[in-house]
Amino acid sequence: MLFLKPSQGDNGNAITCSEAHGYAMLISVMHRNQPDFDQLLRFFLAFRNDHSLMKWQVKQDSHRGIYCDDDGQTSATDGDIDVATALFLAGKVFADSPVFSNSAYWTEGNRLASAILRYEIHPRLGTPLLGDWANEDGAENVKLYNSTRTSDFILSSFLLFHRVVADAGERSRWQWVIESTLSAALSQLHRGVLLLPDFLVFNLRTNQWEVPHGKLLESEKGDGQMSWNACRTPWRLAHYYAASGDQRIRPLLERMREALVRASGKWPAVPAGIDIRTGRGLEDYSDRAFIAPAGYVCHVLGDTSSFQQAVTALNDEEPSYFGDSIDLVIAEQASHTELFR
């Protein structure tokens, strides 16, 4: 069983998380590396929780044993969506291997997509939940239950699920998820924002999606701004546009592109944190996790000059797991968008 242990970081003895695992499976399948993909699939199957979703964090003890703490047993929605996507792509591009048959990729993809629908999609709003841990037990939990992380707006994957899952009823529900999630994203066009924030909260009184004030889940400063979650949102939405041609999302992408290019006045050095209403940079440094998605939006919208500037800037950034992974997944998806159609 394979995994890559980080050489540094602030997560103690954690060796991976479902987010990272999803990225790795996407990269390996789009790079046509079936041996690595199969080992990553074995790892995923070994660390599913009772909902058939991946446990969000995996650790290693002093005796090199691999385990999950009690607080690592729940799921993170984006990781599961990426893993399910990779499984369906594997069904498209891989033949039988010594480890898994082609039909096994489809079987596991369908099993995981069903679990995502059941445990990680809001049953009434049709948008991604924060994880399978979200619940309605108490006022604060209700607020989180009715919230969504915009970096989980992985619409090209929802489109893929709609097209390939085996169950006709589930295919119909994935179309509902596409429309519901797209509606949540587009609702912000009329609320005076230039970019989507890390989180949105559904107001049950007004029946509208709103930007949270202060800390919702992770950060007082970042939850209502474009920070380390929403830095990925332009990429996720732009890839849906590339895969679907859905013109409804283009005005939002155009607004994002303009705001990102102008955010710091130093394009392509996209600030690692941006005020969603003014477009002002909130940090004086940049990161691949912000530059790569911004550059990809420019590429999809035909802004070749800005895209090339972003590609050049990526080479000047320090290596890091998060930014490097996002950069590589984007590059692979840009080269293999036809797999999502």
Tens digits of pLDDT across the chain (341 residues): 454 454 444 556 899 999 999 999 999 999 999 999 999 999 999 999 999 999 999 999 888 889 898 888 999 999 999 999 999 999 999 999 999 999 999 999 999 999 999 999 999 999 999 999 999 999 889 999 999 999 999 999 999 999 999 999 999 999 999 999 999 999 999 998 999 999 999 999 999 999 999 999 999 999 999 999 999 999 999 999 999 999 999 999 999 999 999 987 899 999 999 999 999 999 999 999 999 999 999 999 999 999 999 999 999 999 999 999 999 999 999 999 999 99
Long-range contacts at 85-89 (CB < 8 A, ≥ 24 apart):
85/22, 85/26, 85/154, 85/157, 85/160, 85/161, 86/22, 86/25, 86/26, 86/28, 86/29, 86/37, 87/25, 87/41, 87/112, 88/113, 88/160, 88/161, 88/164, 89/26, 89/29, 89/30, 89/160, 89/339
Residue-level pLDDT at 6: 46
> Residue 95 is encoded by which pair of tokens?
């033949």
Helix/strand/coil for 298: helix
Q: Strand order in 14-17's β-sheet?
A: 14-17, 57-60, 66-67
Ranges of beta strands (E only) in 174-215 are 199-203, 208-210
- Residues spanned by the domain of 5: 1-98
186 with 133: CB under 8 angstroms?
Answer: no
Which pLDDT score is estimated for 118? 99
Number of domains in the chain: 1
Is 210 among the domain residues? no
Contact 90, 72 (CB under 8 A): no
Note whether residue 177 is domain-resident. Answer: no
Distance, CA of 20 to CA of 153 (rounded, Å): 17
- Domain contains 80: yes
Q: How far apart are CA 158 and CA 53, in angstroms?
A: 17
CA nearest neighbour of 102 among 87, 116, 84: 87
Please check whether residue 142 lies inside any domain of the structure: no
Say how far apart CA 100 and CA 52 lie, in whole Å. Answer: 18
In a domain, residue 227? The reply is no
